[in-house]
Amino acid sequence: MSKQHINYDRIAKAIDYIRINFKEQPSLQDIAESVHLSPHHFQRLFSDWAGVSPKKFMQYVSIEYAKELLKNKQATVFDAAYETGLSGTSRLHDLFVNIEGMTPGEFKNGGENLSICYSFAESPFGKLIVASTSKGICHMAFFEDQNEALEKLKKRFSNANYNQVVDTIQQNALFIFRHDWSKLNEIKLHLNGTPFQLKVWETLLKIPLGNLSTYGAIAKEIDKPKASRAIGTAIGSNPVAFLIPCHRVIQSTGNIGGYMWGNTRKTAIIGWEAAKINK
Single out the residue of 46, 58, 77 nearest to residue 209, CA to CA: 77
Task: Return d(Cα 168, Cα 170) in angstroms, integer.
Answer: 5
Phi, psi of 268 (to 5 degrees): -60, -45
Point out the catalytic residue in the list 212, 227, 246, 275.
246
Contacts with 149 (C-beta within 8 Å, 6 or more apart), sequence order: 120, 127, 129, 141, 143
Q: From the centroid of its chain, how far is CA 67?
A: 20
138 annotated active-site:
no
| 161 beta partners | 115
Cα–Cα distance between 7 and 213 in angstroms, integer? 29
Give the C-alpha separation, 170 to 146, whole Å: 17
So which residues are the catalytic ones?
Answer: 246
